[in-house]
Amino acid sequence: MKSVKRNALRIAATTVAFGVVGAGAVGLAGTASASTLEQTRTYVNENFPGSVQIQVTGLNNEGVTVGFWSSMNNASMTNDNSGFVDVGGHFRNANFPTGTPATPPVDQLLGVNDSDIAVGFYTDANGNNHGYEYNVATTRFSSVVDPNAPSASLTAAAINDHGDVAGIYTNPANGNTDGFLLSHGHFTDLSVPGSSSTMALGVNNSDEVVGVFVPSSNANALDGFTWTPQHGFRTVDDPHGIGTTTINGVNDFGQLVGFYVDANGNTDGFLATPQR
């Protein structure tokens, strides 16, 4: 696999960047460093009313954000999750209407495009994930499935403005965890060569898909990747986090956001801009 040199910009210690849209990123942060404050105009708290925990995972160019929240904070990490949408500071739940939810229920929205179509997943009582789309304007849900195996466990993680969806699913041919791109009804399996699992987490309007994979040679490593229909896979690792890099989002300029674990064990967010 070919490595891509990118100008990696470290944002802050204990920062996770989830997605990038235009010139802005969305995620969650711990203690911000001076470099973060210099590059960020303002911080706005975004907490679902009554929530104990919350993660904002998606943002579009209209300012609509999506994510998930919990009313629990158990030491076992077995907490309920509810998807939410925030439009202009007005929150609403967005949970897929299933009759067989997990206990406690797990429902997460992970991305949203400029047509206000959000994507995410819920977990059923058997522990399988099911992907779906949620229309913010009409509040209607629709399922996202592998056409070749509609019952396979699947998570819809990202959607672009053309309605193409990227995510993670269980490949029915071998049982592996693979990424996918669903574009105009065509389902493309994404498995990085030499990997034991591949997870697609972001997609831009050129169908460039990004994510993370586990190399077959090292089950403890995580490497970022990009994939395009024209050029296939390329490996991307932050220079400060080789083997600990996750790519979460990509915009139409090819800029990447994600996170890695540094030498001190801190989780650091980054923005990576392709060299031209």
**What one-character DSSP code corresponds to residue 52?**
S
What averages of pLDDT result for each successive group of 10 residues across the chain (276 residues)? 32 43 43 39 85 95 97 93 97 96 97 98 97 98 95 97 98 96 96 98 98 97 97 95 96 95 94 86
Other CB atoms within 10 A of residue 202 CB: 28
Please say whether the beta carbons of 80 and 95 come within 8 A: no
Q: What pLDDT does 42 receive? A: 73
Q: What pLDDT does 274 receive? A: 87
Side-by-side strand order, sheet with 141-144: 107-112, 117-123, 129-135, 141-144
Q: What pLDDT does 276 receive? A: 67
What b/e readout covers 3-16, taking b as 16+ CB neighbours within 10 angstroms? ebebebebbbbebb
- Burial of 257 from C-beta contacts in 10 A (0-12 / 13-18 / 19+): buried
Instruction: Write out the two tokens for 5.
Output: 């040199």
Contacts of 32 (CB under 8 A, 6+ apart): 12, 15, 40, 43
Q: What pLDDT does 191 receive? A: 98
Whether a cis peptide bond, with omega within 30° of 0, leads into 172 is no
CA-to-CA dists, residue 139 to 94, 96, 107, 154, angstroms: 8, 10, 15, 21
| Topology annotation, domain 6-274 | Neuraminidase (2.120.10)
The single residue listed with the structure tokens 């296939």 is 232
| Domain spans, the chain | 6-274
CA-to-CA dists, residue 99 to 58, 67, 96, angstroms: 26, 22, 9
Instruction: Write out the two tokens for 98.
Output: 């299933």
